[in-house]
Amino acid sequence: MTAIPKEEYLLKCTSACAGCSSSLCLRYITKAAGPDTVLVVPACCTSVIQGMYPNTAMDIPVYNIAFAAAAACASGLSNAFRALRRETNVIVYAGDGGTVDIGIQALSGAFERGTDFLYICYDNEAYGNTGMQRSGATPLGARTTTTPGGKPTTKKDLDRIVEAHDPPYMATACSAYPLDLFKKVKKALSIRGPKFIHILAPCPPGWRYSAEKTIEMGKLAVKTGTWVLYEREYGNLTINGPSKAAIRKPAPLEDYIKGQGRFKGVTPAMLEQMRQQMQANITRLVREEEGIC
Amino acid sequence: MLTIATGNKAVAAAVKAAKPGVIAAYPITPQTEIVEQIAEYVTAGALASEYIPVESEHSAMAACIGASAAGVRTFTATSSHGLLYMHEMVHWAAGARLPIVMANVNRALGPGWNVWAEHTDAFSQRDTGWLQVFVSTVQEAYDATLMAFRIAEHENVLLPVMVNLDGFTLSHITQSLEAFDPGDFIPPVRIPHAIDVENPCVYGPLTGPADYFRFRWDIERSMRDSVGVIADVEREFAERFGRSYGPTEDYRCEDAEVVVVAMGTLGKEAEVAVDLLRQEGVAAGSMRLRWFRPFPKLDLAGRDVVVIDRDYSFGFGGVVAHSIRSTTGAEPYSVIAGLGGQEVTHEDIAGFVKTRQSGKEFWFGVNDRV
């Protein structure tokens, strides 16, 4: 097993909800990055999870910044560290709303400029911090507080938007596979330029499942093929182990859907549309890996 | 070195002399020449700054915030809609106590599109916690930009400073400029709360009702302290470089029975109007208001006051006129003139003085008296 440092940079007594998978991810990300790191956090669950002044659960510098501004603030930090000839890691840790909606312009600008930083989006598929309103990352059919009848449109494909910027490294990850995430953060930080990791982070209160099932929910997302673990290094795509197995023999999509209260109103037609989308995504990724695209 | 330059190029030259670590900028008329000139300096190796060509003004200020938080000197420039687009981050920069310097080339706001001078853009940032100075000549644009770094970075201030110059009537006019090496007048920047990985801190976390107001008070305390710091820096500048500046530039005010208060280039035009009025036997003087935040207390006792506002607060009145009324008790004749670059000559200003009615408001070109 890859040696995961014993040092903790996300300390005990955070303000996270029970079963919060994004704080689990943050624990492994900071372990992979180490102490010579600045975390840039726009408005998101992590604004709360880190604790309230004058206390903090973070043992690395954290720069909180306005919702739309994370990638731009990280640009300033990254260029300043270059001016100071320091090698400090600059990592944005942002939610899906702060990434696919309000923060997408700054993200696109920072990637186009070749900024040396790592942008991590932890995706719980809604505005969790404000009480689960729909975001551009909310999937088809999911009930949120602003889509009480279920979301009528599909999830914005953030990864293909980021891919269009041709970054040297981008990957997906899931909170249920922390070792995979740890390795990806390590690899990303060994590469210069803009790096991107998109984590699926199941959310018990938002997705309406009980807290102890948070790991199981992430595993089901991967095993059904709903979420595909991959990394793209200098344009070369590798589908990672758990997803390779899932693609060969996927678990029924219903296993993932039925355990979540947010999908209660999903119709058979919606389910079929979800299945087709999932399959199209898998086919596209497999073809790219095989070099057929 | 004596040369000639536009207001914009004077700002760029002062930035080059101050050697920021990071400059983040986005183009907008009439400011663009500043960031173009800085980009040329950086490309030619004349300025060793990191230049971040951001995709918006919101990101320009966010990048300056990140860079300043890392402990380097930072600069950006904007105008009008650019300033309004970054408004959220303008607040953030002051709240985060970062000594960012920004040139704002004053321009009106749409609609309709208008690229000419007006002060409403800067005044819309009045309550953000930024210091604001307004300049009137190419040389002053240079000098004030240099001093802005010293003032912002002073340990008792640590607030951002906005240097305002009128669009076109200063940004694009050419005057003589003495650009010089400021030497240790601009020492290396030291930001005491800069990010230090050896001493990890959380910046700007959730802050509750029992604590938040303390940080607001701390901004105001520094704003009050900045009055003395500005005076010290301007005094040192005068001693070392020979040009004196203060909260106002007073012209023939000693025996004046009526004083014209204006800002920016209209403040210079008012001086010509004063000469004209004096020739006609009117004991007039002018005060060009330089610092808008912190707002100085003007000595106007016993004199008539004519205030020219190149701005307007709808449903209220001229911002400068009301500021002077509330800080001095004077009842100025409030003239609204020069909006969106409306031409205002020294003859016009002399006319305002001659037809003044204390306490009344007059929209130049719209009506005789409101």
Residues in chain B within 8 Å Cβ distance of A42 = none
Residues B33 and B158 in one domain: yes
A-B CB pairs within 8 A amount to 163
Nearest to A76 by CA among B194, B207, B83: B194
Residue B199 lies in a domain: no
**What CA–CA distance (Å, rounded) separates B188 from B26?**
26
Per-residue pLDDT of chain B (370 residues; tens, 9 = 90+): 889 999 999 999 999 999 999 999 999 999 999 999 999 999 999 999 999 999 999 999 999 999 999 999 999 999 999 999 999 999 999 999 999 999 999 999 999 999 999 999 999 999 999 999 999 999 999 999 999 999 999 999 999 999 999 999 999 999 999 999 999 999 999 999 999 999 999 999 999 999 999 999 999 999 999 999 999 999 999 999 999 999 999 999 999 999 999 999 999 999 999 999 999 999 999 999 999 999 999 999 999 999 999 999 999 999 999 999 999 999 999 999 999 999 999 999 999 999 999 999 999 999 754 4
How close B215 comes to chain A (CA, Å)? 12
Instruction: Kindly tell me the sign of the dihedral angle through the C-alpha atoms of B303, B306, B307, B312.
Output: positive
CB contact under 8 A, A79 and B92: no
The residues with which B203 forms a beta bridge, in sequence order, are: A63
| Spatial separation of the C-alpha atoms in residues B65 and A207, rounded to whole Å | 35
- For residue range B38-71, list pLDDT tens digits in order: 999 999 999 999 999 999 999 999 999 999 999 9
B132 shares a domain with B36 = yes
Residue to mutate among A11, A30, A60, A79, with most B CBs inside 10 A, is A79
Q: What pLDDT is attached to residue B370?
A: 44
Distance CA(A178)–CA(A171), nearest Å, equals 14
Residues of B in contact with A83 (CB under 8 A): 21-22, 49-50, 67, 72
Task: Say yes or no: B195 contacts chain A, CB-CB below 8 A.
Answer: yes
Across the interface, whether the CB atoms of B55 and A109 are under 8 A apart is answered yes
CATH code matching the domain that covers A21-290, chosen among 3.40.50.970, 3.90.79.10, 3.30.1050.10, 3.10.310.30? 3.40.50.970
Q: Cα separations (Å) of B178 from B14, B36, B163, B233, B241?
A: 10, 21, 18, 19, 10
Domain span at residue B346 reads: 248-363
Residue B181 near chain A (CB below 8 Å): no
Q: Before B200, cis peptide (omega within 30)?
A: no
Distance separating alpha carbons of residues A118 and B81, to the nearest angstrom = 31
Contacts of B348 (CB under 8 A, 6+ apart): B273, B337, B364
Which ipTM score applies to this complex?
Answer: 0.97
* H-helix or E-strand spanning residue A242: helix A241-248
CB-count exposure of residue B238 (10 Å: 0-12, 13-18, 19+) = middle
First-to-final CA distance of chain A = 34
Q: Are the beta carbons of B71 and A80 separated by less than 8 Å?
A: yes
Q: Which portions of chain A are predicted below pLDDT 70?
A: 1-2, 293
Residues B131 and B257 in one domain: no
DSSP B79-124: -HHHHHHTHHHHHHHHHTT---EEEEEE---SSSP--S--SHHHHT
In a domain, B218, yes or no: yes
Question: What pLDDT is attached to residue A1?
Answer: 52
Q: Are residues B155 and B277 in the same domain?
A: no
Q: How far is B26 from chain A (nearest CA, A)?
A: 12
CB distance from B210 to chain A under 8 Å? no
Q: List chain A domain ranges.
A: 21-290
Q: What pLDDT is attached to residue A292?
A: 81
Nearest Cα neighbor of A113 from A67, A172, A71 is A71
Q: Is residue B18 part of a domain?
A: yes
Distance CA B203, CA B193 (A): 9
- What length does chain A have? 293
pLDDT tens-digit series, residues B26-36: 999 999 999 99
Tell whether B272 is covered by a domain: yes
Contact B195 A83 (CB under 8 A): no
Please indicate, yes or no, whether residues B288 and B222 belong to a single structural domain of this protein: no
User: In 3D, which of B257, B236, B235, B255 has the Cα closest to residue B247?
Assistant: B235
Q: Are residues B350 and B269 in the same domain?
A: yes
Domain match, B237 and B252 both: no
Question: pLDDT at position B367, please?
Answer: 72
Predicted local confidence at residue B47, as pLDDT: 98
The reply to whether B85 falls in a domain is yes
| Contact between B337 and B352 (Cβ < 8 Å) | yes
On chain B, the residues whose CB falls within 8 A of the CB of A81 are 70
Q: Count of domains in chain B?
A: 2
Nearest-5° angle of CA A264, CA A268, CA A271?
Answer: 75
